[in-house]
Amino acid sequence: MAAETELKFRVPARKLKSLEKPRIAGAKSGEPSTSDLVSTYFDTAKHKLKRHGLTLRVRYDGHDYVQTIKSETGPQFERGEWESELKDDAFDLEKAEGTPLEELASGRLRRKLKPVFETSVQRITVPLRTKRSEIELAIDRGHTTAGHRSRPIREVELELKSGRVLDLFRVARALERRSGAELDPCSKAERGYELAGHDQHSSVSAESVMLDSEFTAGEAFRVIARSTFRHFSSNADAVREGEHEGVHQMRVGLRRLRAAISLFSKILPKASTEEVKAQLKWLTSALAPARELDVFVKEDIEPASHDALLRRGGRAIRQEFSVRRDRAFARARQAVDSQHYRSMLIDTMQWIEAKQTIAADDEGGPVGEFAAALLHRRIRKLRKDGRHINELSARQRHKVRIRAKKIRYAIDFFESLFAGKHERKQLKRLSKQLKRIQDALGSLNDFVAHRKLAVDATLKAPHRRERDRAFASGVVLGREEQAVKPLIKIAAQEVRGLKPF
């Protein structure tokens, strides 16, 4: 088995040419070479290989056919890669022996495997050498084709052939500064599957996290962190295109990574972790107004604007908050289009992969024991803090909600570790209880935020519209308050019903 340690970037088409002769401080570049590569990816109609974190590819470089099996899962930064030479363009499952595909490689699978998509690229390869490392820079121009659909490929890959991961990230930063390259966690295979599934720049939801019971807590953290990183960064295009769900999913991905950092805080170094948390908080804050205003407009303002009772006031506040929402979405787009965002991606990925990121000598011990103790401790704390939830201030209720949300994320992260029927049933029931707590307290939190927005809009309204807007805002908030009043009771009941794990 070979192991790939690589970073992939999307680069503006006009910048690709300049990278053929890269000038990177501390690195010497060799002579570039060019090759034409045509790769066919195989899977079943229901994408069985993809579901198991595997890809099967046959590539022709103008001279030879090579079959490649790749594994996307594992605690290490490297990806497993197994290559075999072929006589022609037909895959050969006999050559899957000793790979993760071997367990699936039945005669039935062989009959079901069909071409799903194809990539055709011209690759320019430039060798780079630093004092301690050898890195390969690959510039790809071409397209991905799935049926009658096609998507251009304009990307750069950096692969560490030998040496230090630190040097790989140093070159990555130089690449970003020179060309505006954006770290892209999605492989060509993932982009191809998106195209085959007719998903072009749509929002991306969280993927399932698969952990091995033999992992240490540190190894598990890296698997979880990579997954949450892919979750938020894969929604950048959706945010740029103004997709409301894209903004929501990017925020969820960021919250999941921040929750993972909190859950594993005992084995993470404080100094570097605080720097990463500050960067994640910056992006979360840049997206928050767009999401908050979108929810307020859709769920409260637009229904109220059709109420005959409100007349001009309803139309006025709809216009006001629609304009505010559009501006907030524009600011979200500016954030993900910025150099700050591109740099943040590299910094965060390096922090996830750095050996120094896990502070504990034993990496926190076996992850199964770590997870069980963490869930028990967090549930007990939530029960204690939420015992008198009806007496808490809005700020205190918000903290209880955040604790409930982190436990839900922990269940999502650790679910694969608990295979027993009783454990699965207990986790499912617990997750439902936590969701009801989170939803109830979330609605209360939204009401507080919406009240601030409404008051601000009324105070800044032109004098001739002030009365109409104030009346309409008061009606909207009054209806919302009536709707959320019973929610404290629901949250209190669910907190009291929580059982120790």
DSSP code for 300: I
Q: In terms of pLDDT, which residue wins out, 441 or 434? A: 434
**pLDDT value at residue 482:** 59
Question: Among candidates 380, 397, 382, which has minimal Cα distance to 447?
Answer: 397
Q: List, for residues 249-290, the tens digit of each pLDDT value.
A: 999 999 999 999 999 999 999 889 999 999 999 999 999 999
Please give the pLDDT value at position 373: 94
**Average pLDDT of the residues in 103-119:** 94
202: left (phi over 0), alpha (psi -120 to 50) or beta: beta
Local structure of 499: helix, strand or coil: coil
**Does the pLDDT value for residue 450 go beyond 70?**
no
* Phi, psi (deg, nearest 5) at residue 124: -105, 120
d(CA 463, CA 315): 16
SS3 (DSSP) at 147: coil
CB 260 within 8 A of CB 276: no
Q: Where are the beta strands (DSSP E) in 147-284?
A: 149-162, 182-183
Give CA 404 to chain center in angstroms.
21
Q: Which residues contact 320 (CB under 8 A, 6 or more apart)?
A: 457, 461, 469
Q: Does position 449 have pLDDT exceeding 80, yes or no? A: no
Helices 270-296 & 339-353, crossing angle to 10 degrees? 130
Over the stretch 280-321, which tens digit does the pLDDT of each residue have?
999 999 999 999 888 878 876 666 555 544 555 556 677 777
When the candidates are 3.20.20.70, 3.40.1180.10, 2.40.320.10, 3.40.50.2300, the CATH number that belongs to 2-200 is 2.40.320.10
Q: Is the pLDDT of residue 201 over 90?
A: no
Confidence band (pLDDT; 50, 70, 90) for 494?
A: confident
Residue type (1 letter), 487: L
Q: For the chain, which residues make up each domain, given as ranges?
A: 2-200, 263-496
% of the chain with per-residue pLDDT over 70: 85
**pLDDT over threshold 90, residue 460:** no
pLDDT at 357 (0 to 100)? 85
Q: Are 177 and 337 in contact (CB under 8 A)?
A: no
Q: Mean pLDDT throughout 226-238?
A: 95
Mean pLDDT of the chain: 86
Tokens 């309204």 found at: 461
Instruction: State how far the alpha carbon of 97 is from the alpha carbons of 103, 186, 214, in Å.
Output: 9, 27, 23
pLDDT given at position 483: 56
Q: What is the pLDDT of residue 471?
A: 46
pLDDT tier at 247 (50, 70, 90 boundaries)? very high
495 and 381 in contact (C-beta within 8 Å)? no
Q: How confident is the model at residue 358 (pLDDT cuts 50, 70, 90)?
A: confident
DSSP collapsed to 3 states, 32-57: CEEEEEEEEEEECCCCHHHHCCEEEE
Give the tens place of pLDDT for each residue, 43-90: 999 999 998 889 999 999 999 999 999 987 655 565 678 999 999 999
pLDDT computed for residue 152 by the predictor? 95
- Which pLDDT tens digit goes with each residue over 315-357? 667 777 788 899 999 999 999 999 999 999 999 999 999 888 8
Amino acid at 261: I
Rounded Cα distance, 188 and 8, in Å: 10
- Band (364; pLDDT cuts 50, 70, 90): confident
Both tokens assigned to 15 = 């910048």
* Dist CA 66 CA 37 (whole Å): 11
In this prediction, residue 475 has a pLDDT band, given cuts at 50, 70 and 90, of very low
pLDDT in tens, 122-138: 999 999 999 999 999 99
The rounded percent of the chain whose pLDDT value lies above 90 is 59
Q: In this structure, what are the phi and psi dihedrals at residue 11, rounded to the nearest 5 degrees?
A: -130, 135
Distance CA 458, CA 495 (A): 37
Please write the tens of the pLDDT for every residue from 2-26.
556 889 999 998 898 888 888 888 8
C-alpha–C-alpha distance, residues 396 and 31, integer Å: 62
Q: What pLDDT, on a 0 to 100 scale, did the predictor assign at position 80?
A: 79
pLDDT band at 241 (very low <50, low <70, confident <90, very high): very high
DSSP letters along 319-345, please?
HHHHHHHHHHHHHHHHHHTSHHHHHHH
Instruction: Give the tens place of pLDDT for each residue, 378-416.
Output: 999 998 887 788 777 878 888 888 999 999 999 999 999
Is there a contact between 151 and 195 (Cβ–Cβ < 8 Å)? yes
> In terms of DSSP bridges, do strands 149-162 and 28-29 run parallel, antiparallel, or are they unpaired?
unpaired
